[in-house]
Chains A and B, each alone.
Chain A
Amino acid sequence: MLRRTAKCFCCNLVAEIEKKITEAFEVFDRESNKTVDVREIGCIIRSLGCFPNEAEVQELLGQIEVDELEGFVHLKNFLPVMTKVLLDKRFWPIPEDVILHAFEALDENKCGYITKEDLVKHLTENGEPFTEEEMEDMLAVALDPETNTLNYRDYRIKLVVDESKTFPFNI
């Protein structure tokens, strides 16, 4: 319905969003045939600036037609769903202070750091558990090898991506 109005800001915006989604999609399109492996969808959604959790990714996938046999998703099915996600500004980035509070919630003694054991326990047994690989990768960067603890304030600063200011219209 929006598209009927020629040259309005909204149309340009939608066109732009679609272009960006297509670009991101094509980066994962190994065979250059407008399909990607369904397992990469989460990655694509996140690289477009969204912060869905696993449950939300699955929910989105539920809305997209997936080729059951081969396990791939076609751009034409992904595009409208993803465009709506961006237009609705869903899965907005997690603000810095919320992440800080999340770490603090795991830091029982409120001392500013979490031990490796606690971290592993929380993140591999709780929430939407990390795989072994994910845990290892995180520890490799996050852990201070001398004390075997994670100073979450420092870590968070290292990783913060300041895109929330312009998300998702950072086109």
Chain B
Amino acid sequence: MGSGSSVNVQYKYSLQKSENAFKAAVLIQQWYRRHVARLEMRRRCTWRIFQSIEYACEQDQIKLHNFFSYLMDQFTPSSSKERDFISRMFVSGESYKEAELEKFCDYESIEVPDSYIGPRLSFPLLPDHATALLEAFQQKQQLHARYVLNLLHETRKHLKQLPNISHVSTCYSEEVTVCGDLHGQLDDLFLIFYKNGLPSPSKSYVFNGDFVDRGKQSLEILVILFTFLLIYPKEVHLNRGNHEDHMVNLRYGFTKEVMQKYTVHGKKILRMFQNVFCWLPLATLIDQKVLIIHGGISDTTDLDMLEKIQRDKFISVLRLKKRKESSRKPEMQAINGERESGSDAAGKEAAPRLSLQPQSAQAPSTANRLEFSRWLRQTVQEQIDTCRRLVDISESEPEELTYSSMVSLKDVDEPCWTRQQEWKQILDILWSDPMPQEGCRENKVRGGGCYFGPDVTEKFLEKYSLQFLIRSHECKQEGYEFCHNRKVLTIFSASNYYEIGSNRGAYVKLGPDLIPHFVQYQANKTAHMLTMTQRISRVEESAFRALREQLFAHTSALISAFKAYDGDNTGRITLSNWATAVESVLRLGLPWRMLRPQLVCSTKDGMLEYKSWLDELAMEQRSQEHIQSSLLEIIYRNRSNLETIFRIIDRDHSGLISFEEFQQTWKLFSSHMNIELTDDGIDDLVRSIDFNKDGNIDFNEFLEAFRLVKQCPT
């Protein structure tokens, strides 16, 4: 053993050590990467959950329309009360004629008390008004109803002069900033202005629709956007989105928000908004090269037609389901707002004279049910026609129109488009989504618009010599996303849309070179401070809560599905069958095997005791313990639809409906959905949720009782 060998030992030792260190590093890296991959999987699954539930909700809207169709076809009311009730459901109310609008929604008579400390607007608006509003809203103040109405009147006047497609040029203001959906999230708008600067003669903005619904500050956003629109008409451009539509607002929160904030004048304000929405331009074109629309395009999108349509005729773009062929007379097209008195085109039967009130005087006695139900069907049909006329939804098959009927509606020198075709143009640009596959097909998920493929985009861009499209309408995790070979850009500006940490918002800036530059953000301090793991956990928790609610809402159907796999009635099924069964019931297209560990806690030998699993789910949801769980399930499953129906019934937007109306609604709905519930059952329900005040039901309270307590953002 000389010095040589000790060097050897030392050398071997350090070699060993570095080998060990190497191996250790590899192990740690390996282990860590696995952790990250798992997180990534969880993140994507969570995203899928939210999206599938969101789209399933939109599909609910279709079910709602089916309900109305069902009413027309099937229901025979058994009392005059019920008859009145149904007709009330379908009478939409006042017309939209301009003079009447001005009179009904007048603001001048509204006094502003001295005690009011909020901003006072005077017209024409100045930049100071805008800053005053921004400050006021930051301090959670509310703009007085008088000024809201005044602003809306002025906005309407301005919008009426604008063409359907706004033209923007980057040579005037060097850059144009395009923002996507905001959905009532005022914090995001503030953040955009903070990072990018306020609109000004040197700062142009395009806001691409969906300013309202879901978030709680839709009103404030609209006030701010309209204010800037009036102050800087050359620099600020607004596109209509699919949520700028009163039918959609009934369901997704804007109607409710306005009524809660403006208890006295809310109805007027809503009526004005309804009208202003339909005057919003449909698209924006930058330098004749970049088209900005809210949803997308279809293979029939025609910019020439879009430019010439009378866009204000389309107050709501949603349409009711096509009626069954059997007993319907062909629908007449009518010009919005005017009462048709049985004008008939060649070959059509005269439409009955219409009025807006239920014709109670002429009702046959309820004793003769057959006659009565025929009368009812006719009356209800008339009311629906009226209703449709007022919202200008046409139902005819295009092929059924005769030349003369078209001529009777339009001036002779105008092109012979049908109302149907015009409507489709608007529907497509507001509701369509891009898809990776080629072609163009109906967007059944949303119930409107198309899925359009890269070939459709290519053809369209070529036809109109455009470079690319900018659209919004879909939430994207990074706030923006390219598709169709970078020819379609989706820009989405509502951050944390599903939950805090779920996604970033973004806006895009275009200079004369038309190369997009993106800025992303997330409007919540908490989100910044969370680590990736925590962010994912939080969003995940929220997603799974929503998913468990969905599962609960389908308890009965799930039990049937599970039982099909449990022939021997052991009460247990394999986890594999669990996954298949759940997908067959919920149809959300989710990776259930990946999600299973989060949904099913305890298994035995790879088998699940499904009854107790469902009971566990029920335990979580039971906010009202004394209500029968099957009833609870029904309410959960149909909550959105119920809410929409309530809002339609509640025509004065008071949030209150009478006890009878509630009973009626429930009865109608349950008969349509084949739900068995006796009158006693309804009484029990009402009694147990002690909300009956003076015979009126605050349905907001009713629905709140069944809403999950959402985690409060800190």
For chain A, residues 117 to 132, give those with C-beta under 8 angstroms from any C-beta of chain B. 122-123, 126-130
CA distance A46 to B31 in the complex (A): 10
Digitize B638-659: 1 where CB-to-A-CB distance is under 8 Å, 0 elsewhere: 0000000000000000000000
Residues of A within 8 A of B (CB): 12, 16, 19-20, 23-24, 26-28, 30-33, 42-47, 50-54, 93-94, 98-99, 101-103, 105-106, 122-123, 126-130, 134, 137-138, 140-141, 159, 161, 169-171
Task: Give every chain B residue within 8 A of A93 (Cβ-Cβ).
Answer: 34
Q: Pick from A27, A52, A129: contact of B44, CB below 8 A.
A: A27
Task: Give every chain B residue within 8 A of A122 (Cβ-Cβ).
Answer: 21, 24-25, 28
CA distance A76 to B30 in the complex (A): 27
CA distance A153 to B436 in the complex (A): 46
CA distance A16 to B593 in the complex (A): 10
- Tell me the nearest residue of chain A to B435, going by C-beta: A32
Task: Give every chain B residue within 8 A of A28 (Cβ-Cβ).
Answer: 44
- Tell me the nearest residue of chain B to A13, going by C-beta: B576
Central interface residue in B37, B437, B594, B597, by most chain A CB within 10 Å: B37
Whether a CB of chain A sits under 8 angstroms from the CB of B592 is yes
Whether B37 pairs with A141 at a CB distance below 8 angstroms is no
Q: DSSP majority for the A interface?
A: helix
For chain B, residues 566 to 589, give those with C-beta under 8 angstroms from any C-beta of chain A. 575-576, 579
Known: A106-B25, A106-B28, A127-B28. 4 other contacts (CB 8 A): A102-B31, A122-B25, A127-B29, A134-B33
Whether A102 pairs with B23 at a CB distance below 8 angstroms is yes
A-B contact pairs, 28 of them (CB 8 A): A12-B576, A16-B576, A23-B592, A27-B594, A32-B436, A32-B437, A43-B37, A47-B40, A54-B30, A98-B27, A99-B31, A102-B23, A103-B24, A105-B20, A105-B21, A105-B23, A106-B21, A122-B21, A123-B29, A128-B25, A128-B30, A129-B29, A130-B32, A134-B33, A134-B36, A141-B531, A159-B35, A161-B35
Whether B27 pairs with A102 at a CB distance below 8 angstroms is yes
Q: Pick from B38, B533, B575, B591: contact of A26, CB below 8 A.
A: B591
**Contacts A127-B26, A138-B32; A31 near B37 (Cβ below 8 A):** no
CA distance A50 to B33 in the complex (A): 11
- Tell me the nearest residue of chain A to B594, going by C-beta: A23
Q: Pick from B30, B37, B44, B436: contact of A53, CB below 8 A.
A: B30
Whether B32 pairs with A134 at a CB distance below 8 angstroms is yes
Whether a CB of chain A sits under 8 angstroms from the CB of B56 is no
- Tell me the nearest residue of chain B to A15, going by C-beta: B576
CA distance A83 to B20 in the complex (A): 33
Q: Pick from B33, B532, B533: contact of A46, CB below 8 A.
A: B33
| Min C-beta distance of B484 to chain A, whole Å | 11
Whether A137 pairs with B41 at a CB distance below 8 angstroms is no
Whether A31 pairs with B44 at a CB distance below 8 angstroms is no
Whether a CB of chain A sits under 8 angstroms from the CB of B48 is yes
| Min C-beta distance of B40 to chain A, whole Å | 5
| Min C-beta distance of B39 to chain A, whole Å | 9
- Tell me the nearest residue of chain A to B579, going by C-beta: A19
CA distance A103 to B23 in the complex (A): 11
Whether A42 pairs with B33 at a CB distance below 8 angstroms is yes
CA distance A157 to B44 in the complex (A): 24
Task: Give every chain B residue within 8 A of A134 (Cβ-Cβ).
Answer: 32-33, 36
Whether B28 pairs with A171 at a CB distance below 8 angstroms is no
Question: A-B pairs with the 4 shortest C-beta distances?
Answer: A127-B25, A46-B37, A31-B436, A47-B41
**Contacts A26-B591, A43-B41, A46-B33; A123 near B606 (Cβ below 8 A):** no
Task: Give every chain B residue within 8 A of A170 (Cβ-Cβ).
Answer: 597
Whether B594 pairs with A102 at a CB distance below 8 angstroms is no
CA distance A42 to B454 in the complex (A): 29
Whether a CB of chain A sits under 8 angstroms from the CB of B634 is no
Whether A171 pairs with B21 at a CB distance below 8 angstroms is no
Task: Give every chain A residue within 8 A of B32 (Cβ-Cβ).
Answer: 130, 134, 138, 159
- Tell me the nearest residue of chain B to A127, going by C-beta: B25
Whether B593 pairs with A171 at a CB distance below 8 angstroms is yes
- Tell me the nearest residue of chain B to A33, going by C-beta: B436
Task: Give every chain B residue within 8 A of A94 (Cβ-Cβ).
Answer: 27, 30-31
CA distance A138 to B29 in the complex (A): 10
| Min C-beta distance of B593 to chain A, whole Å | 5
| Min C-beta distance of A5 to chain B, whole Å | 18
Q: Pick from B27, B30, B40: contact of A52, CB below 8 A.
A: B30
Whether B28 pairs with A27 at a CB distance below 8 angstroms is no
Task: Give every chain B residue within 8 A of A45 (Cβ-Cβ).
Answer: 37
Whether A130 pairs with B576 at a CB distance below 8 angstroms is no
Q: Pick from A50, A53, A102: contact of B24, CB below 8 A.
A: A102
Whether B575 pairs with A171 at a CB distance below 8 angstroms is yes
Task: Give every chain B residue within 8 A of A46 (Cβ-Cβ).
Answer: 33-34, 37-38
